[in-house]
Amino acid sequence: MKRVVIIGMGFGGIRAARELAGKGLDVTLVDRNNYHLFQPLLYQVATAGLEQESIAYPVRAMARGWTGTRFHLAEVTGIDFGTRQVRTDNGDIPYDYLVAGAGSVTNYFGLESVERHAFDLKELVDGERLRNHILTAFERAVVEPDPARRRALMTFVIVGGGPTGVEFAGALIELVRFVLAKDYPELSVQAARVVLVEAFDRLLAAMEPPLQVYTLEKLRSMGVEVLLNARVVDAGPERVILHDGAVIPAHTLFWSAGVKAAPLAAALSAAPGPGGRIRVEPDLTLPGHPEVCVIGDMAYLEQDGAPLPMVAPVAMQMGIYAGRSILARERGESAPPFRYRDKGSMATIGRSAAVASAFGMKFRGYLAWLVWLLLHLYYLIGFRNRIVVMLNWIWYYWFHERQVRLITERERGVAE
Protein backbone atom coordinates (compact mmCIF):
# COMPACT_ATOMS: atom_id res chain seq x y z
CA MET A 1 0.00 0.00 0.00
CA LYS A 2 1.43 3.38 -1.05
CA ARG A 3 2.10 5.85 1.74
CA VAL A 4 1.04 9.50 1.45
CA VAL A 5 2.16 12.09 3.99
CA ILE A 6 0.35 15.44 4.15
CA ILE A 7 2.13 18.19 6.07
CA GLY A 8 -0.14 20.89 7.43
CA MET A 9 -3.83 20.69 8.25
CA GLY A 10 -4.73 24.05 6.80
CA PHE A 11 -7.24 24.68 4.03
CA GLY A 12 -5.16 22.84 1.44
CA GLY A 13 -4.12 19.90 3.60
CA ILE A 14 -7.58 18.89 4.73
CA ARG A 15 -8.92 19.00 1.19
CA ALA A 16 -6.09 16.84 -0.07
CA ALA A 17 -6.86 14.39 2.74
CA ARG A 18 -10.53 14.26 1.79
CA GLU A 19 -9.65 13.44 -1.80
CA LEU A 20 -7.28 10.62 -0.79
CA ALA A 21 -9.29 9.05 2.06
CA GLY A 22 -10.76 5.64 1.34
CA LYS A 23 -8.85 5.25 -1.96
CA GLY A 24 -6.60 2.38 -0.94
CA LEU A 25 -3.72 4.54 0.25
CA ASP A 26 -2.06 4.83 3.66
CA VAL A 27 -2.48 8.54 4.45
CA THR A 28 -0.64 10.19 7.36
CA LEU A 29 -1.60 13.70 8.40
CA VAL A 30 1.09 15.72 10.18
CA ASP A 31 0.66 18.99 12.04
CA ARG A 32 2.10 20.62 15.14
CA ASN A 33 -1.46 21.42 16.24
CA ASN A 34 -4.21 18.84 16.67
CA TYR A 35 -6.83 21.05 15.08
CA HIS A 36 -7.74 22.80 11.85
CA LEU A 37 -8.02 26.56 12.33
CA PHE A 38 -10.51 28.65 10.38
CA GLN A 39 -8.11 31.56 10.19
CA PRO A 40 -10.39 34.08 8.43
CA LEU A 41 -12.39 34.45 11.65
CA LEU A 42 -9.42 34.66 14.01
CA TYR A 43 -9.74 38.43 14.23
CA GLN A 44 -13.19 37.93 15.80
CA VAL A 45 -11.56 35.99 18.63
CA ALA A 46 -9.19 38.92 19.14
CA THR A 47 -12.10 41.39 19.26
CA ALA A 48 -14.15 39.36 21.76
CA GLY A 49 -16.75 38.27 19.22
CA LEU A 50 -16.16 34.51 19.17
CA GLU A 51 -14.78 31.85 21.48
CA GLN A 52 -11.55 30.38 20.15
CA GLU A 53 -13.00 26.85 20.20
CA SER A 54 -15.74 27.84 17.75
CA ILE A 55 -13.31 28.43 14.87
CA ALA A 56 -11.18 25.30 15.36
CA TYR A 57 -11.96 21.63 14.82
CA PRO A 58 -9.95 18.58 15.97
CA VAL A 59 -8.11 16.82 13.17
CA ARG A 60 -8.73 13.41 14.74
CA ALA A 61 -12.47 14.07 14.73
CA MET A 62 -12.30 14.68 10.98
CA ALA A 63 -9.99 11.72 10.38
CA ARG A 64 -12.45 9.33 12.06
CA GLY A 65 -14.51 9.43 8.89
CA TRP A 66 -11.55 9.24 6.51
CA THR A 67 -10.77 5.57 5.85
CA GLY A 68 -7.06 4.74 5.75
CA THR A 69 -6.08 8.04 7.38
CA ARG A 70 -4.25 8.64 10.65
CA PHE A 71 -2.94 11.72 12.40
CA HIS A 72 0.58 12.38 13.71
CA LEU A 73 1.05 15.31 16.12
CA ALA A 74 4.56 16.59 15.43
CA GLU A 75 6.68 19.50 14.28
CA VAL A 76 8.31 18.82 10.91
CA THR A 77 12.01 19.63 11.04
CA GLY A 78 13.14 18.54 7.59
CA ILE A 79 12.69 16.21 4.63
CA ASP A 80 15.13 13.59 3.35
CA PHE A 81 14.33 13.23 -0.34
CA GLY A 82 16.90 10.46 -0.82
CA THR A 83 15.27 8.06 1.66
CA ARG A 84 11.83 9.64 1.35
CA GLN A 85 11.49 10.39 5.04
CA VAL A 86 9.77 13.29 6.76
CA ARG A 87 11.86 14.29 9.79
CA THR A 88 9.86 15.37 12.83
CA ASP A 89 10.48 16.01 16.52
CA ASN A 90 8.47 12.86 17.16
CA GLY A 91 10.19 10.41 14.81
CA ASP A 92 10.61 9.93 11.07
CA ILE A 93 7.71 9.17 8.74
CA PRO A 94 8.31 7.36 5.41
CA TYR A 95 6.40 8.37 2.29
CA ASP A 96 5.87 7.45 -1.33
CA TYR A 97 4.02 10.70 -2.01
CA LEU A 98 4.36 13.93 -0.07
CA VAL A 99 2.00 16.92 0.04
CA ALA A 100 3.62 19.92 1.74
CA GLY A 101 1.22 22.64 2.82
CA ALA A 102 2.66 24.19 5.97
CA GLY A 103 1.22 27.62 5.18
CA SER A 104 2.80 30.96 5.93
CA VAL A 105 4.09 33.18 8.70
CA THR A 106 3.97 36.93 9.19
CA ASN A 107 6.47 38.94 7.14
CA TYR A 108 7.87 41.95 8.99
CA PHE A 109 10.21 42.85 6.10
CA GLY A 110 13.26 43.03 8.35
CA LEU A 111 11.76 45.52 10.82
CA GLU A 112 13.12 43.97 14.02
CA SER A 113 11.61 46.51 16.42
CA VAL A 114 8.20 46.04 14.83
CA GLU A 115 8.50 42.27 15.10
CA ARG A 116 9.34 42.57 18.80
CA HIS A 117 6.39 44.78 19.67
CA ALA A 118 3.66 43.96 17.16
CA PHE A 119 0.85 41.44 17.44
CA ASP A 120 -0.22 39.26 14.53
CA LEU A 121 -2.92 36.66 13.94
CA LYS A 122 -1.62 33.36 12.59
CA GLU A 123 -2.23 30.90 15.44
CA LEU A 124 -5.22 30.27 17.68
CA VAL A 125 -3.28 31.46 20.73
CA ASP A 126 -2.61 34.78 18.95
CA GLY A 127 -6.30 35.65 18.99
CA GLU A 128 -6.66 35.04 22.71
CA ARG A 129 -3.40 36.85 23.44
CA LEU A 130 -4.46 39.94 21.48
CA ARG A 131 -7.91 39.95 23.12
CA ASN A 132 -6.26 39.81 26.55
CA HIS A 133 -4.01 42.71 25.59
CA ILE A 134 -6.84 44.91 24.28
CA LEU A 135 -9.03 44.40 27.35
CA THR A 136 -6.07 44.79 29.71
CA ALA A 137 -5.20 48.10 28.03
CA PHE A 138 -8.63 49.45 29.00
CA GLU A 139 -8.28 48.14 32.54
CA ARG A 140 -4.98 49.99 32.83
CA ALA A 141 -6.47 53.11 31.30
CA VAL A 142 -9.10 53.20 34.06
CA VAL A 143 -6.45 53.67 36.75
CA GLU A 144 -3.96 55.72 34.70
CA PRO A 145 -3.77 59.32 36.04
CA ASP A 146 -1.80 60.74 33.08
CA PRO A 147 -4.25 61.77 30.29
CA ALA A 148 -1.65 61.35 27.53
CA ARG A 149 -0.68 57.87 28.66
CA ARG A 150 -4.34 56.98 29.13
CA ARG A 151 -5.08 57.90 25.53
CA ALA A 152 -2.06 55.96 24.31
CA LEU A 153 -3.41 52.89 26.11
CA MET A 154 -6.63 53.34 24.13
CA THR A 155 -4.87 53.84 20.79
CA PHE A 156 -4.59 50.86 18.42
CA VAL A 157 -2.48 50.99 15.26
CA ILE A 158 -3.25 48.44 12.54
CA VAL A 159 -0.78 48.06 9.68
CA GLY A 160 -2.03 46.70 6.35
CA GLY A 161 -5.10 47.66 4.36
CA GLY A 162 -5.88 44.19 3.04
CA PRO A 163 -8.89 42.11 4.13
CA THR A 164 -7.41 41.22 7.54
CA GLY A 165 -6.53 44.81 8.40
CA VAL A 166 -9.88 46.16 7.22
CA GLU A 167 -11.90 43.50 9.03
CA PHE A 168 -9.93 43.85 12.24
CA ALA A 169 -10.20 47.66 12.19
CA GLY A 170 -13.97 47.54 11.68
CA ALA A 171 -14.50 44.92 14.40
CA LEU A 172 -12.24 46.74 16.85
CA ILE A 173 -13.86 50.16 16.45
CA GLU A 174 -17.29 48.56 16.98
CA LEU A 175 -16.02 46.76 20.10
CA VAL A 176 -14.72 50.05 21.48
CA ARG A 177 -17.66 52.30 20.58
CA PHE A 178 -20.59 49.95 21.25
CA VAL A 179 -19.37 47.55 23.95
CA LEU A 180 -16.39 48.87 25.89
CA ALA A 181 -17.98 52.30 26.09
CA LYS A 182 -20.63 50.69 28.32
CA ASP A 183 -18.15 48.56 30.25
CA TYR A 184 -15.94 51.54 31.12
CA PRO A 185 -18.25 54.50 31.87
CA GLU A 186 -15.44 56.22 33.78
CA LEU A 187 -13.41 56.49 30.56
CA SER A 188 -14.05 58.83 27.67
CA VAL A 189 -13.99 55.95 25.20
CA GLN A 190 -14.86 58.27 22.33
CA ALA A 191 -11.25 59.48 22.67
CA ALA A 192 -10.01 55.99 21.83
CA ARG A 193 -8.28 55.74 18.45
CA VAL A 194 -8.15 52.98 15.86
CA VAL A 195 -5.59 53.92 13.21
CA LEU A 196 -5.28 51.89 9.99
CA VAL A 197 -1.98 52.44 8.16
CA GLU A 198 -1.67 51.45 4.50
CA ALA A 199 1.47 51.88 2.37
CA PHE A 200 -0.46 52.31 -0.90
CA ASP A 201 -3.04 54.89 -1.92
CA ARG A 202 -6.03 52.56 -1.50
CA LEU A 203 -7.45 49.79 0.66
CA LEU A 204 -8.25 46.27 -0.55
CA ALA A 205 -5.93 46.57 -3.56
CA ALA A 206 -7.28 43.38 -5.18
CA MET A 207 -10.83 44.77 -5.45
CA GLU A 208 -12.55 47.15 -7.85
CA PRO A 209 -12.06 50.90 -7.26
CA PRO A 210 -15.73 51.56 -6.30
CA LEU A 211 -15.48 48.93 -3.56
CA GLN A 212 -12.18 50.41 -2.38
CA VAL A 213 -13.76 53.86 -2.11
CA TYR A 214 -16.79 52.45 -0.26
CA THR A 215 -14.53 50.65 2.21
CA LEU A 216 -12.48 53.76 2.90
CA GLU A 217 -15.54 55.97 3.39
CA LYS A 218 -17.31 53.40 5.57
CA LEU A 219 -14.34 52.90 7.89
CA ARG A 220 -13.87 56.63 8.31
CA SER A 221 -17.57 57.12 9.03
CA MET A 222 -17.26 54.46 11.75
CA GLY A 223 -14.44 56.41 13.40
CA VAL A 224 -11.37 54.61 12.04
CA GLU A 225 -8.47 56.91 11.15
CA VAL A 226 -7.15 55.69 7.80
CA LEU A 227 -3.66 56.79 6.79
CA LEU A 228 -2.87 56.06 3.14
CA ASN A 229 0.60 56.27 1.56
CA ALA A 230 2.05 55.74 5.03
CA ARG A 231 4.52 53.16 6.32
CA VAL A 232 5.50 52.05 9.81
CA VAL A 233 9.29 51.94 10.11
CA ASP A 234 9.88 51.57 13.85
CA ALA A 235 8.00 50.71 17.02
CA GLY A 236 8.39 50.59 20.77
CA PRO A 237 6.19 49.49 23.66
CA GLU A 238 4.45 52.88 23.76
CA ARG A 239 4.87 54.36 20.29
CA VAL A 240 4.68 53.70 16.56
CA ILE A 241 6.88 55.67 14.15
CA LEU A 242 5.93 56.35 10.53
CA HIS A 243 8.23 56.86 7.54
CA ASP A 244 7.84 60.65 7.65
CA GLY A 245 8.93 60.82 11.29
CA ALA A 246 5.42 61.13 12.71
CA VAL A 247 5.00 59.40 16.07
CA ILE A 248 1.74 57.81 17.19
CA PRO A 249 1.64 57.23 20.97
CA ALA A 250 0.13 53.74 21.18
CA HIS A 251 0.49 50.65 23.33
CA THR A 252 -0.94 48.30 20.69
CA LEU A 253 0.42 47.59 17.21
CA PHE A 254 -1.20 44.96 15.01
CA TRP A 255 0.67 43.86 11.88
CA SER A 256 -1.16 42.47 8.84
CA ALA A 257 0.99 43.96 6.11
CA GLY A 258 2.41 40.79 4.63
CA VAL A 259 3.14 37.08 4.88
CA LYS A 260 5.91 34.78 3.72
CA ALA A 261 6.22 31.03 3.32
CA ALA A 262 6.57 28.93 6.46
CA PRO A 263 10.18 28.08 7.50
CA LEU A 264 9.67 24.53 6.20
CA ALA A 265 10.00 25.92 2.67
CA ALA A 266 13.71 26.46 3.28
CA ALA A 267 14.08 22.74 4.07
CA LEU A 268 12.84 21.70 0.62
CA SER A 269 16.22 22.52 -0.98
CA ALA A 270 14.61 24.38 -3.84
CA ALA A 271 15.29 27.83 -5.27
CA PRO A 272 12.99 30.16 -3.33
CA GLY A 273 10.70 32.59 -5.07
CA PRO A 274 9.28 35.85 -3.73
CA GLY A 275 8.33 35.67 -0.07
CA GLY A 276 10.35 32.50 0.39
CA ARG A 277 7.78 30.51 -1.57
CA ILE A 278 8.80 27.43 -3.55
CA ARG A 279 8.62 27.63 -7.34
CA VAL A 280 6.62 24.61 -8.43
CA GLU A 281 5.93 22.92 -11.73
CA PRO A 282 2.55 23.46 -13.44
CA ASP A 283 1.32 20.27 -11.75
CA LEU A 284 2.39 21.67 -8.32
CA THR A 285 5.27 19.19 -7.98
CA LEU A 286 8.68 20.14 -6.66
CA PRO A 287 11.22 20.44 -9.52
CA GLY A 288 13.18 17.19 -9.68
CA HIS A 289 10.82 15.43 -7.26
CA PRO A 290 7.57 14.45 -9.01
CA GLU A 291 6.45 12.57 -5.89
CA VAL A 292 6.35 15.83 -3.88
CA CYS A 293 3.52 18.38 -4.21
CA VAL A 294 3.77 21.83 -2.67
CA ILE A 295 0.46 23.60 -2.08
CA GLY A 296 -1.03 26.71 -0.53
CA ASP A 297 1.01 29.66 0.68
CA MET A 298 4.27 27.71 0.30
CA ALA A 299 3.82 27.32 -3.46
CA TYR A 300 4.80 29.96 -6.01
CA LEU A 301 3.07 29.56 -9.36
CA GLU A 302 2.33 32.17 -11.97
CA GLN A 303 -0.91 32.16 -13.92
CA ASP A 304 -1.70 34.58 -16.74
CA GLY A 305 1.50 36.45 -15.99
CA ALA A 306 0.88 37.02 -12.28
CA PRO A 307 1.66 34.92 -9.18
CA LEU A 308 -1.26 33.25 -7.48
CA PRO A 309 -2.16 35.04 -4.24
CA MET A 310 -1.54 33.59 -0.80
CA VAL A 311 -5.21 33.16 0.11
CA ALA A 312 -7.41 30.31 1.33
CA PRO A 313 -9.30 29.68 -1.97
CA VAL A 314 -6.01 29.04 -3.78
CA ALA A 315 -4.90 26.61 -1.06
CA MET A 316 -8.23 24.74 -1.17
CA GLN A 317 -8.13 24.27 -4.93
CA MET A 318 -4.48 23.23 -4.79
CA GLY A 319 -5.26 20.66 -2.09
CA ILE A 320 -8.04 19.11 -4.14
CA TYR A 321 -5.82 19.08 -7.23
CA ALA A 322 -2.90 17.47 -5.37
CA GLY A 323 -5.11 14.67 -4.07
CA ARG A 324 -6.60 13.97 -7.49
CA SER A 325 -3.18 14.17 -9.12
CA ILE A 326 -1.80 11.46 -6.82
CA LEU A 327 -4.79 9.25 -7.57
CA ALA A 328 -4.28 9.82 -11.29
CA ARG A 329 -0.64 8.75 -11.04
CA GLU A 330 -1.67 5.60 -9.21
CA ARG A 331 -3.92 4.79 -12.17
CA GLY A 332 -1.05 5.42 -14.56
CA GLU A 333 -2.55 8.66 -15.82
CA SER A 334 -1.21 12.20 -15.90
CA ALA A 335 -3.02 15.21 -14.50
CA PRO A 336 -3.50 18.41 -16.52
CA PRO A 337 -1.68 21.52 -15.27
CA PHE A 338 -3.21 23.19 -12.25
CA ARG A 339 -5.37 26.20 -12.97
CA TYR A 340 -6.89 28.38 -10.30
CA ARG A 341 -10.49 29.46 -10.82
CA ASP A 342 -11.01 32.78 -9.12
CA LYS A 343 -14.52 32.84 -7.69
CA GLY A 344 -14.16 36.34 -6.28
CA SER A 345 -13.13 38.03 -3.05
CA MET A 346 -14.87 39.70 -0.15
CA ALA A 347 -14.27 41.50 3.12
CA THR A 348 -16.55 42.58 5.92
CA ILE A 349 -16.19 46.08 7.28
CA GLY A 350 -18.61 46.02 10.17
CA ARG A 351 -22.18 45.30 11.17
CA SER A 352 -24.30 45.19 7.98
CA ALA A 353 -21.41 46.40 5.82
CA ALA A 354 -19.14 44.43 3.53
CA VAL A 355 -17.76 44.41 0.00
CA ALA A 356 -17.69 41.49 -2.42
CA SER A 357 -16.69 40.86 -6.01
CA ALA A 358 -17.75 37.65 -7.73
CA PHE A 359 -18.68 36.45 -11.23
CA GLY A 360 -18.12 39.92 -12.66
CA MET A 361 -20.55 41.52 -10.21
CA LYS A 362 -19.84 43.91 -7.35
CA PHE A 363 -21.72 43.94 -4.05
CA ARG A 364 -21.49 46.26 -1.11
CA GLY A 365 -23.37 47.06 2.05
CA TYR A 366 -25.97 44.78 3.60
CA LEU A 367 -26.24 42.29 0.71
CA ALA A 368 -22.49 41.74 0.59
CA TRP A 369 -22.48 41.33 4.38
CA LEU A 370 -25.13 38.59 4.18
CA VAL A 371 -23.16 36.78 1.48
CA TRP A 372 -20.02 37.05 3.61
CA LEU A 373 -21.83 35.59 6.63
CA LEU A 374 -23.32 32.67 4.71
CA LEU A 375 -20.08 31.72 2.94
CA HIS A 376 -18.05 31.78 6.14
CA LEU A 377 -20.63 29.61 7.89
CA TYR A 378 -20.58 27.22 4.93
CA TYR A 379 -16.80 26.77 4.95
CA LEU A 380 -16.53 26.55 8.73
CA ILE A 381 -15.94 22.93 9.78
CA GLY A 382 -18.24 21.31 12.34
CA PHE A 383 -22.02 21.62 12.76
CA ARG A 384 -21.66 22.79 16.37
CA ASN A 385 -19.17 25.46 15.34
CA ARG A 386 -21.56 26.77 12.70
CA ILE A 387 -24.39 27.00 15.23
CA VAL A 388 -22.23 28.68 17.90
CA VAL A 389 -20.82 31.23 15.44
CA MET A 390 -24.25 31.98 13.98
CA LEU A 391 -25.77 32.50 17.46
CA ASN A 392 -22.92 34.82 18.41
CA TRP A 393 -23.45 36.86 15.26
CA ILE A 394 -27.22 37.05 15.82
CA TRP A 395 -26.71 38.11 19.42
CA TYR A 396 -24.29 40.86 18.41
CA TYR A 397 -26.52 42.04 15.56
CA TRP A 398 -29.52 42.58 17.84
CA PHE A 399 -27.87 43.63 21.09
CA HIS A 400 -24.45 45.03 20.13
CA GLU A 401 -22.86 42.77 22.73
CA ARG A 402 -19.64 40.77 22.58
CA GLN A 403 -19.91 37.93 25.06
CA VAL A 404 -16.26 36.84 25.15
CA ARG A 405 -14.83 39.84 26.99
CA LEU A 406 -12.59 37.64 29.11
CA ILE A 407 -9.03 38.34 30.25
CA THR A 408 -7.76 34.78 30.54
CA GLU A 409 -4.14 35.66 31.28
CA ARG A 410 -2.62 38.72 32.91
CA GLU A 411 0.19 40.37 31.03
CA ARG A 412 3.52 40.98 32.74
CA GLY A 413 4.13 44.00 30.54
CA VAL A 414 2.08 46.24 28.32
CA ALA A 415 3.64 45.10 25.02
CA GLU A 416 4.82 41.59 25.74
Write out the catalytic residue numbers: 167
Instruction: Give the Cβ contact number of residue 305 at 10 Å.
Output: 5
Nearest to 187 by CA among 238, 223, 135, 237: 135
Alpha-carbon distances, residue 398 vs 19, 31, 392, 395, 401 (angstroms) = 40, 39, 10, 6, 8
Buried b (16+ CB within 10 A) or exposed e, 266-291: ebbebeebebbbbbbbebbbbeebeb
Burial category of 214 from C-beta neighbours within 10 Å (exposed 0-12, middle 13-18, buried 19 and up): buried
Amino acid at 45: V
How many CA atoms, within 13 angstroms, populate the side-chain half-sphere of residue 136? 19
Amino acid at 184: Y
CB-based contact 164:172 (threshold 8 Å): no
Round to whole Å and give the CA distance between 379 and 376.
5
**Which neighbouring-strand residues pair with 233?**
none
**Which neighbouring-strand residues pair with 106?**
259
Round to whole Å and give the CA distance between 224 and 172.
9
Amino acid at 41: L
Instruction: Give the Cβ contact number of residue 171 at 10 Å.
Output: 23
Beta strands in 118-212 (DSSP E): 155-159, 193-197
Amino acid at 364: R
Round to whole Å and give the CA distance between 239 and 236.
5
